[in-house]
């Protein structure tokens, strides 16, 4: 395994991405490299905050929880795709021998 793949291992980023998205929705997606998805969540968060009333605080918390769960699940999905790539690389290496 090369060092850059280990540095960006989605499994290691799942919890930090979820935590960041809980604090500021969308930021965890940026950490995972999902820029468009992060921008959409972040834009929705700013829209909600800018129009927030007393009830808006509850919606902001709910949005944070939803986005944190999404960031965590996206990291797990990226991890499973990465594992598939690793298995494919191993079979390609065996075929070359």
* Cβ count within 10 A of residue 33: 13
Q: Which residue has the higher pLDDT, 70 or 82?
A: 70
Q: How far is CA 9 from CA 36, 75, 90, in A?
A: 20, 9, 18
Residue 57 has pLDDT above 90, yes or no: no
Average pLDDT value for the chain: 78
The pTM for the full model equals 0.68
Residue 42 has pLDDT above 80, yes or no: yes
Averaged pLDDT, 64-70: 92
- Listed by start position, the domains of the chain span 15-92
Q: CA-to-CA distance for 46 and 13, rounded, in angstroms?
A: 24
Asked if 82 and 6 count as a contact pair (C-beta separation under 8 A), the reply is no
pLDDT digit string (tens) for 11-23? 788 999 999 999 9
């Amino acid at each position: 395994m090369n060092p850059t793949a280990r540095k960006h291992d989605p499994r290691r980023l799942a919890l930090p991405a979820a935590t960041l998205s809980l604090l500021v929705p969308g930021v965890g997606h940026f950490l995972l490299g999902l820029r468009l998805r992060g921008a959409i969540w972040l834009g929705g968060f700013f829209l909600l905050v800018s129009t927030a009333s007393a009830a808006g605080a509850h919606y902001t918390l709910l949005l944070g929880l939803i986005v944190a769960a999404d960031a965590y699940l996206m990291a797990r999905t990226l991890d499973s795709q990465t594992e598939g790539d690793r298995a494919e690389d191993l079979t390609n290496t065996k075929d070359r021998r």
